[in-house]
Structure formats: structure tokens, C-alpha cells
């Protein structure tokens, strides 16, 4: 999920660089400054590609598709900025279809509206990727919980079986204990009988 968030953050940075370039084009910036700003955008595109390469397979295809679209858009934007900057800042195009003056304010509003729609689409794409990753995590958690439940069930069955064996052992021990007590009682009786017999023999031998 962190990879997708980073990708979307870079996408927003990309649109921010585009906005800055468009704003600077209205100020008639030098080619050197323009090239530096293009280099900044190129770095962002490269960073986005790195995020695509590190993304989970579940969202990698979609992220790569978005990256390809943004790369194509960026190349078109750079080409237009160099050859026909008026198309980006609301000025006249290279081959206007009419001689009427261009409504700069209207074109500027349209450009901003398109940029807002692009950012909204990027946010929706980000939310969709996050939802897919969340679904994957949820499925994994449910699977792990099911496995843990099976483990607990087996453990409970083993405990029940152990309890049954303990009851049997307890019964055997009680039976052994009763036998020991009985044997002790019989031994005492035998000793008493032997003492009685011995007393009778002594009496018969010495007193008669």
C-alpha cells in the first residue's frame, strides 16, 4: 500500500510541476530555466517508474498503465511547451482556425478545469488501488484467521482427548488406592491372626 501512496504523491508532484511551468511560460522564461524545470519533471517520471517496478503484482499492471499515460502526456506537454507555448497558456495556436481574438480568460479557466479533472481522476485511481490492496490484506487476514481457528479446534480436541485420558488414569489410581488399602487391611488381619496363634501356642506350651 505504501508503494501506491508514493506513486500517487509523485503523480500530484508531476501535475504541480506542469502547473509551475505553465505559470512561468506566461512570464516568458528563458530556455535554460525551462530545461531545468523539464529536468525536474523527468526525475519525477523516473521516480514513478521505480514505484511501478516495486509495486505488488495486484496493482502493478494498473500503475504501469497510468505511468505510460503520464509519460506520453509529459512528452506531449514538453513538445507543446517548446513549439507552441500559447496553447498551454491560453494564447493563440500555431494555425488558428479563425481570425477572431482568443478569449484568454476562458481558455485559462478551461485549462484549469482540465487540470482539476486530471487530479480528480488521479485521486480516484489512487483510491481504487488502495481499495484493491485493502481487499487483498483483508482476504489474507481472513485466511490466517481461518487457519488459526483450525489450529485452535485441533488444540481443543487434543485437550479433550487428554482430559479423557486423565480421567481414565484417575480412575485407575483410585482403583489401585482401594486395592492398597484392602491389602493393608488384609495384612493387618493376617498379622493379628498370627499373633493370636502365637499367643495360643505360647500359652499351651508354657502354662499347661
Q: At what angle do helices 104-206 and 2-25 cross, to 10 degrees?
A: 160
Determine the pLDDT at residue 171.
Answer: 85
User: pTM, whole model, 2 decimals?
Assistant: 0.42
Q: What is the pLDDT of residues 138-147, one digit of tens each?
A: 888 898 898 8
CA distance 46 to 38: 12
Q: What are the boundaries of each domain within the chain?
A: 2-90+105-130
- Sign (positive or negative) of CA dihedral 193, 198, 202, 204: positive
Helix intervals (H) in the chain: 2-25, 31-54, 57-83, 86-89, 104-206
Q: Which residues of 163-189 are buried (b: 16+ CB within 10 A; e: fewer)?
A: eeeeeeeeeeeeeeeeeeeeeeeeeee
User: What percentage of the chain reaches a pLDDT higher than 90?
Assistant: 25
* Structure-model confidence comparison of residues 38 and 170, the more confident one: 38
Work out the pLDDT band at 208, boundaries 50, 70, 90: low
Q: What is the pLDDT of residues 117-156, one digit of tens each?
A: 878 888 888 888 888 888 888 888 898 898 898 888 888 8
Q: What is the pLDDT of residues 46-64, one digit of tens each?
A: 999 999 999 888 888 999 9
Q: What is the pLDDT of residues 86-102, one digit of tens each?
A: 777 765 443 333 333 33
If one counts every other C-beta atom within 10 angstroms of the C-beta of residue 126, the result is 18
Amino acid at each position: 500500500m505504501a508503494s501506491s501512496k508514493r506513486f500517487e504523491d509523485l503523480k500530484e508532484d508531476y501535475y504541480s510541476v506542469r502547473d509551475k511551468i505553465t505559470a512561468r511560460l506566461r512570464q516568458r522564461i528563458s530556455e535554460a530555466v525551462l530545461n531545468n524545470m523539464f529536468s525536474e519533471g523527468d526525475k519525477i517520471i523516473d521516480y514513478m517508474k521505480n514505484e511501478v517496478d516495486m509495486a505488488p503484482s495486484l496493482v502493478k499492471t494498473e500503475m504501469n498503465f497510468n505511468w505510460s499515460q503520464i509519460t506520453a502526456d509529459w512528452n506531449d506537454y514538453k513538445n507543446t511547451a517548446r513549439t507552441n507555448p500559447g496553447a498551454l497558456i491560453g494564447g493563440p495556436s500555431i494555425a488558428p482556425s479563425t481570425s477572431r481574438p482568443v478569449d484568454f480568460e476562458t481558455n485559462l479557466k478551461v485549462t484549469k478545469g482540465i487540470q482539476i479533472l486530471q487530479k480528480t481522476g488521479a485521486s480516484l485511481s489512487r483510491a481504487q488501488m488502495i481499495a484493491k490492496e485493502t481487499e487483498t490484506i483483508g482476504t489474507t487476514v481472513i485466511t490466517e484467521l481461518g487457519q488459526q481457528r483450525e489450529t485452535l479446534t485441533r488444540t481443543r480436541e487434543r485437550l479433550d482427548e487428554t482430559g479423557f485420558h486423565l480421567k481414565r488414569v484417575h480412575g485407575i489410581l483410585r482403583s489401585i488406592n482401594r486395592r492398597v488399602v484392602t491389602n493393608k487391611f488384609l495384612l493387618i488381619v493376617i498379622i493379628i491372626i498370627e499373633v493370636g496363634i502365637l499367643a495360643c501356642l505360647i500359652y499351651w506350651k508354657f502354662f499347661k
